Chain A
Amino acid sequence: MTKSSLSGRKRNPSFWRSIGAIFGKDLASELRTRFAVNTLLLFSVTSLTIVSFSTARTPLTKEAQSALLWIVIFFSAMTGLARSFVREEESGTADALRLTAPAESVFLGKFAFNCVLLLCVEAVVVPLSLIFWAVSVDAPLFFTVVLFAGNIGLSAVATLMAAIVAQTSMQAGLFAVLSFPVLIPLLFTAVRATLLSMDAVRQVGEIAPVIRMLFVFDIVMLTLGFLLFDYIWRDRK
């Protein structure tokens, strides 16, 4: 046994390995039960289909397309991303995690897992919406970057809020209530940015502030999450 060093927390290889272990464990669990992925995909595809079919006759404006895409992604996130923490608390494994893993690893591992879940949703919803709505994306690279940045912001906030609500008595019911207002800056900006990517006729000058906002939001939320997670996760002095 390696004699444990009694120094403070260190960012040594074991830190990264523990993040990998938590991420891997959630992934393995998910592959075996497929619960979250199924719920997420079912919800997102269903809502996308409902919207598309009901607006089939009236062509959607680019603004509406952009907004609806993010609405579907957001609500999918609200449906499925709380699960990883709620299930840990319910099945009594959260305490096992508290006892053995460093808090930052839990945050980053779960965050990474949520990113992957959302990526799965986006991988299905985005192509489908492009087909259903006959969307032409003028700047595909920008479009992808916006999706990616939105993904990170959504996952960061969702991970934080999931950890909070998992410890309440209402749990998943509170998840959307807490997450939504905090995510507004991200959602508004992402919708605007996606719109810009779909419609290059608009002012190019608008791109910079929008990218900046997404960047700022992601950095702020990830940093806040990283600093605060320990306090959410366990009792500490």
Chain B
Amino acid sequence: MKAWYAMLGIWMSAVIYEAFALPEIRGLVGHPIAYFHPPIAIVTFIAFLVAMIHGLRYLRWNDPIHDVKSSKAAEVGLLFCFLATVTGAMWSKANWGTFWSWDPKQTSIFVVLLIYAAYFSLRSSTPNPDRRHRLCAVYTVIGFISAVLLMFILPRIGFSLHPNDAMMGGGSDRPVRLLFWASVLGFSGVFAWMMELAVKLALMEMKIKEMSQ
């Protein structure tokens, strides 16, 4: 396992170095952020998808372990969502002059942040454990579907300042695309690692509580 983390560390360092080393992309100011903000946003969605999957598994099997995994995925996802919002604002400032440009995608990622902040409000207001697991699991499903609606469907009805597919698909050079996807991979690894740690910690806490009863 340690080798894995070392590899991840090296990978991310390489990504970060390259992000600053590569020349600027035409049409995009503040270019290092371009390799961080979209990948972080993508990983946010992966995190919330994972939270939903574990939520669904809880609803199917009623096993508390799925609730632990679901909530930890949401927790790390919330962190990534916060970072996505912040890096988005930084990019907005660099490109369009203001931190908040009311661009639909920028607004959406912030609303997604609100959705998952609300998830934790729900969690802390339900003392009964059975109910808590059940209601939170359902909310992860509603939350993810809403997040999809917000990020991918809503922007279609208004105009967007977002550069969108410029980086992911055609219209950019190979090194740019390579680095972009390398960054996505790296951040996914970071997410998986953080989630695993959080889950382990939660399980240990549960065990300690059980033993002290």
Contact = CB atoms under 8 A, between A and B. Distances in A.
Q: Do chains A and B touch in the complex (CB under 8 A)?
A: yes
Interface of A: 160, 164-165, 167-170, 174, 177-178, 180-182, 184-185, 188-189, 192, 206, 209-210, 212-213, 216-217, 220, 224, 228, 231-232, 235, 237
Main SS class of interface, A:
helix
A180 B154 CA distance: 15
A185 B131 contact: no
Contacts of A177: 118, 121
Nearest to A213: B157
B137 interface: yes
Contact of A185 (B128, B141, B142, B149): B149
12 contacts: A164-B122, A167-B131, A169-B125, A174-B121, A174-B125, A177-B121, A182-B143, A184-B154, A189-B157, A206-B157, A220-B149, A224-B142
Closest 3 CB pairs of A and B: A170-B125, A181-B114, A168-B125
A182 B156 CA distance: 17
Given A189-B154, A209-B157, A168 B112 contact: no
Interface of B: 59, 62, 108, 111-112, 114-115, 118, 121-122, 125-128, 130-131, 134-135, 137-139, 141-143, 145-146, 149-150, 153-154, 156-158
Contacts of B156: 209, 213
Main SS class of interface, B:
helix
A211 to B, nearest CB: 10
Contacts, number: 85
A237 B130 CA distance: 12
Contacts of A220: 145, 149
Specify which of A178, A182, A192 lies most central, judged by the most chain B CB atoms within 10 Å of its CB. A182
Contacts of A192: 157-158
Contact of A168 (B59, B111, B135): B135
Nearest to B135: A164
B14 to A, nearest CB: 36
Contacts of A167: 126, 128, 131, 135
Contacts of B115: 181-182
A188 B118 contact: no
B200 to A, nearest CB: 28
B118 A216 contact: no
Contacts of A181: 111-112, 114-115, 118, 146
Given A168-B122, A228-B141, 14 more contacts: A168-B125, A169-B125, A169-B127, A170-B125, A177-B118, A181-B111, A189-B157, A192-B157, A192-B158, A206-B157, A213-B157, A220-B149, A231-B134, A235-B130
A184 B157 CA distance: 13
Contacts of A209: 156-157
Specify which of B108, B121, B157 lies most central, judged by the most chain A CB atoms within 10 Å of its CB. B157
B122 A185 contact: no
B135 to A, nearest CB: 5
